[in-house]
């Protein structure tokens, strides 16, 4: 019997289609990173010696003249830091504005083949520290309403460049999709006097079935209404509305847990394509009680089709309880 | 300079990233249907002679014992017509219900390689008539709140079967994604006393830049805030909230226009993968003034990545005015 589940934080329904059920092992792909990818690629714009291929550096970490991490503007930015966030309207119907914003690339490492899950926890900390630094700086620009950190790994996840990198986009609007999520979280807070994510953490730790790991102040779960097989959330146990408020000691725990879960993905699923996105409150909402930053990892092992596009409801062919058990064992 | 545009019907923002601009010709793929796909496939469960591979027929069109169209339950249904739409809640947090609904497949033709764009208008009419018949019947079941017709073409669009087919899913809930769209349409109606889609039709016909074709009572446009290259809408000029209300003469025009635009896709873009989804008001809302059924075609020429998943904002690398011009000329 299929089951329909509701994400308590967003109120989105998900169909768990048990009639199509796949076992976690069925998702293992043939590829493995280590065997196929070299440490250096002559044609890669992010490899050392090709620094001229990127726009001028925004920041970097260097030791003895060699960089270990660089942040550069995206060469083909979705948004640029020019123009004004002024709405224009045509025929009293078609609203548009300048593509104002900022679009940065974090080149995580000089090594072409050293991604999360294959690096030391210290190196992971260097990367997430750069995330936090850029997040904080971009958040202070009053023209920007949301600072979104994300990471695309693998062709199926929409990335064109193999070299380990993340991206940050600052937008001049709070997207509708985000606003709806904030509204639902606020409504939960109104009803219960508690942040919905704090409640999820409490209940998942009690139920245990969907917990992948819990350490260093972070809980990793396969969410109750997982949209796709192996959808994974990393939740800080400490309540902060935005990632920018993370303390140094929390950041150290986060780096370790993030590195560990992506190692599980790499080992258990043989380097699946995935998108990793930070969920965080809009800028200026740092003090809010109702939102709670977290990270979502969305593996691209299945292809959403017409039903998903037309209803927003995902059909998931694997129970999160089953994928959680699989990942715990890896 | 990138531009941010808002969909007037949904209030969703889209980034038109001109810095990454591609020409329409850049999306042409190497494949063509006619050369590669045979009329009959021994292994296809939908080809004639393999009727035993599907669950028992719901309906069919037959002449002299040969079928020209069959409707069958999906063998691996997302939802099944059993159970009750009763919500259960665990820990006062995790809400679930039975996977009640219906999931049907319309096998459009006995020919393995005869899809929209390659068939006669009469044949197209037969298919959309079956859509309407099943739509009407499923809409009458009080347990179902939304009847969604969609069609996945090509691997990139998530289909596993090549044989021309469409799907219908009846759901026991109105998904959040749909509810938000209805709310925005209602708000527009409140503000303007006019259906937002009627207004879009009026303005697009005045502006002309995004119109692909206009005939037989239907307008085909590349929408102002197109999320992906070649996103295409087919709008009936006559206001009806749901597809079920379409009259016979309107249906004839719709079949022709649908067949014509998909022929343009086939010829101009060499058989791109796409999802086609019907947008229609929930069941019971047939009399509404504020919603206006239409069809969206969403080609899968690009891959949405972390930014899209994390913000709901699409980055489109081609202007709809440019793709409209291209399609007008095909």
Protein fold of A3-329: HIT family, subunit A (3.30.428)
Q: Looking at beta carbons, which residues of chain A come within 8 Å of B16?
A: 99
- Full-prediction pTM beyond 0.80? yes
Over residues B205-232, mean pLDDT: 97
* Cβ-defined contact of B1 to A310 (cutoff 8 Å): no
Choose, out of B305, B314, B316, the residue to mutate when testing the contact with A (most A CBs < 10 Å).
B305
Q: What's the rounded mean pLDDT across residues B170-176?
A: 96
Residue B225 clears pLDDT 90, i.e. is over it: yes
Domain residue ranges in chain A: 3-329
Each residue's pLDDT tens digit, B231-265: 999 999 999 999 999 999 999 999 999 999 999 99
Q: Is the pLDDT of residue A289 over 80?
A: yes
Size of interface A-B (CB pairs under 8 A): 237
Indicate whether B32 pLDDT > 70. Answer: no
pLDDT at residue number A30 = 64
Q: Using an 8 Å CB-CB cutoff, list chain B residues near A11.
A: 176
User: What pLDDT, on the 0 to 100 scale, is given for residue B272?
Assistant: 93
Q: Sheet of B232-236: strands edge to edge? A: B59-63, B66-73, B102-107, B165-171, B146-153, B274-279, B294-299, B232-236, B218-221, B211-215
**What DSSP character marks residue B117?**
T
Question: CB-based contacts of A249: which residues, under 8 Å, 6+ apart?
Answer: A217
State the average pLDDT over residues B16-39: 77
B265/chain A closest Cα distance in angstroms: 17
Is residue B130 left, alpha or beta, with left meaning phi > 0 and alpha meaning psi from -120 to 50? alpha
End-to-end CA distance of chain B: 29
Does residue B35 have a pLDDT over 70?
A: no
What's the pLDDT tens digit per position in A196-232? Answer: 999 999 999 999 999 999 999 999 999 999 999 999 9
Which of B8, B13, B159 faces A173 most closely, judged by CB atoms? B13
For the segment A102-111, the average pLDDT, to the nearest whole number, is 98
Residues written for chain B: 330
| pLDDT over 80 at B19, yes or no | no
Residues of A in contact with B311 (CB under 8 A): 146, 148, 169, 171, 175, 177-178
Cβ neighbour number for residue A66 with a 10 Å cutoff = 9
Q: What residues of A are annotated to the active site?
A: 165
- Nearest CB partner across the interface for A13, out of B16, B175, B276: B175
C-alpha pair distances (Å), B93 with each of A198, A237, A296, B10:
12, 18, 20, 29
B275 strand-pairing partners? B152, B298
């Amino acid at each position: 019997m299929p089951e329909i589940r509701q994400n308590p934080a967003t109120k989105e329904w998900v169909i768990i289609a048990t009639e199509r059920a796949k076992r976690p092992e069925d998702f293992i792909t043939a590829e493995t990173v280590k065997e196929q990818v070299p440490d250096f690629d002559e044609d890669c714009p992010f490899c050392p010696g090709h620094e001229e291929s990127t726009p001028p550096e925004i920041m970097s970490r260097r030791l003895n003249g060699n960089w270990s991490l660089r942040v550069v503007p995206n060469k083909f930015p979705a948004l640029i830091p020019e123009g004004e966030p002024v709405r224009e309207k045509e025929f009293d119907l078609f609203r548009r504005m300048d593509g104002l914003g900022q679009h940065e690339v974090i080149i995580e490492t000089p090594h072409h083949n050293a991604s999360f899950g294959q690096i030391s926890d210290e190196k992971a900390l260097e990367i997430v520290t750069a995330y936090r630094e850029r997040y904080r700086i971009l958040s202070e620009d009053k023209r920007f309403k949301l600072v979104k950190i994300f990471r695309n790994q693998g062709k199926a996840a929409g990335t064109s460049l193999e070299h380990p990198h993340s991206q940050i986009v600052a937008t001049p609007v709070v997207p509708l999709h985000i606003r709806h999520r904030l509204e639902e979280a606020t409504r939960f807070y109104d009803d219960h006097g508690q942040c919905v994510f704090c409640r999820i953490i409490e209940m998942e730790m009690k139920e245990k079935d969907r917990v992948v790991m819990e350490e260093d102040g972070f809980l990793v779960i396969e969410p109750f209404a997982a949209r796709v097989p192996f959808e994974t959330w990393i939740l800080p146990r400490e309540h902060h509305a935005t990632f920018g408020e993370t303390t140094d000691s929390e950041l150290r725990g986060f780096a370790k847990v993030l590195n560990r879960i992506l190692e599980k993905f790499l080992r258990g699923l043989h380097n699946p394509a995935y998108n990793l996105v930070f969920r965080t409150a809009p800028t200026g909402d740092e003090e809010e009680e109702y939102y709670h930053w977290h990270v979502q990892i969305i593996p691209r092992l299945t292809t959403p089709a017409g039903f998903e596009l037309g209803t927003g409801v995902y059909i998931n062919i694997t129970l999160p309880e089953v994928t959680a058990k699989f990942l715990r064992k890896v």
